Amino acid sequence: MKQPLIAPIVEAVRSGKTTAVAQVTEAIARAEKAKDFNAIISMTTDRALERARMIDERVARGETTGRLLGVPFIAKDNFLTFGGETTAASTMLKGFMAPYQSTAIERLEAEGAICIGKANLDAFAHGGSTENSDFGPTLNPHDKSRVPGGSSGGSAASVALSIVPFALGTDTGGSIRLPASYCGVVGFKPTYGRVSRFGVVAMASSTDTIGPLATTVADAALVLECMAGLDARDSTSLPKPLETVAITNAPKALRIGVIKECMGEGIDPMTRQVVEAKIADFKAAGHSVETVSIPSTELALAVYYVVVPAEISSNLARFDGIRFGYSAKDAESLQETYEKSRSAGFNTENKRRIMIGNYVLSSGYYDAYYKRAQTVRTIIMKEYTAAFAKYDVLLSPVAPTAAFALGAKADPLAMYMVDVMTVGPSLAGLPAISVPLEVGKELPVGLQIIGAAGHDALVLQVAAHAEAA
């Protein structure tokens, strides 16, 4: 069983065996050593060391509370943070200094965690490979010729490179789970609303979810517990507290459904092999395992790429060259300011999604596309609800293949297809985790464990069981 990394750091800082300054300094050095992977856009070194010194002073006074005392971490660069820029990896926000911090960051800092830098991502989180970053692509820690996944590729790579024990990501349609799978780390997308979205650059407000990437399930669970909870500044945050559970305890006999549509045509043989081997482990442990059909799985990707661009076009309307962000200096009218600022500030993928979103929301097409997609989304939710009436959790691969080569998915449709197994749970707001199955001679592959809405603790417990096995 993998040993947690966070608890030993906290205990060492608390006992005086090490210091928060030492932990931060060592993490900064590891980041510098791994800079060729381009996992980190910017470092928040000065503020991190200042916070570390404050924590060491507290410990010296006997104040040793904090579940993440002295633990360094990296935040995806769409989280508003102090100590440096927040760019969302886009030219549009280059130079933007956040006037406040996100709720997630504030809650982690309250527990003693220290943000040392901002991770690379696809600009505005639009992508599945981190190749759409305006700061250049992140490279896969296992093979520099391959992608780390996206959009939280920099966060996953930072954990896989052992720069920090955990990082923060966002998941709208697979953006935590895909890079976790490709980089061989744990990535958890909790139930929609479990963690406040306040202070995170919005992509699609009805599916955006905040979650951790870590080396072990136990570490991911601890970070989630520290972030989760109601936030008055986010009306979609859940009032019910996260159910805590001893995730290291073996779960009771489970009823497990393996999603048929995710195990058929289009799945790489190696991916199918390692997933089937893990399914066999569940059977050997005495759990009931059956195949289950989620018929709308084949429609989920089409629904996602109607609903999400529609929300993107709305959320990105605020970047107009007037209020904040990049502003064209040579414009001679208000209309020209809009045109030149948005043309230069957004990259090709950003513009593509804005155009799709505007199209499906436009007069004459709203009913044909957006309204119909939302109808099918409701069907997707009902199919998952029916499945969870019979099964405790559902299993599938995270992606059809392991990490692909840089530039291999230049065609946008080919890139969108990598989300085929992750968008369904996102549209339904369900908790889902990627647990690494194969790290070694072969590229890592992630097992996706999906739970019913609100059953985050059960998903984490099953994931810990799979990790231990």
Q: Kind and range of the H or E element at 114?
A: strand 114-119
Residue with tokens 């040392």: 116
Residue with tokens 């090709």: 348
Residue 165: C-alpha distances to residues 73, 337, 369 (Å): 7, 43, 43
H helix and E strand count, the chain:
15, 11
DSSP symbol at 85: B
The alpha carbons of the chain give a radius of gyration, in whole angstroms, of 21
Choose, from 102, 151, 155, 196, the residue flagged as catalytic: 151
Is the distance from CB of 154 to CB of 120 less than 8 angstroms?
Answer: yes
Q: Compute the distance between CA of residue 187 and CA of residue 334 in angstroms, rounded to an integer.
A: 43
**Tell me, what amino acid is at 438?**
E
Six-digit token pair at 224? 């989630």
| Annotation says 175 is catalytic | yes
Q: Specify the 3-state DSSP secondary structure of 162.
A: coil
| Annotation says 76 is catalytic | yes
**Tell me, what amino acid is at 228?**
A
At 319, phi and psi to the nearest 5?
A: -90, 85
Choose, from 152, 175, 181, 196, the residue flagged as catalytic: 175
Is the distance from CB of 414 to CB of 433 less than 8 angstroms?
Answer: no
Choose, from 76, 118, 340, 409, the residue flagged as catalytic: 76
DSSP symbol at 116: E
- The residue among 181, 200, 120 whose CA lies nearest residue 153 is 120
Q: Compute the distance between CA of residue 117 and CA of residue 114 in angstroms, rounded to an integer.
A: 9
Six-digit token pair at 302? 């089409």
Is the distance from CB of 101 to CB of 91 less than 8 angstroms?
Answer: no
Six-digit token pair at 214? 């870590």
- The residue among 469, 466, 456 whose CA lies nearest residue 429 is 456
| Annotation says 252 is catalytic | no
Give the catalytic positions in this structure: 76, 151, 175
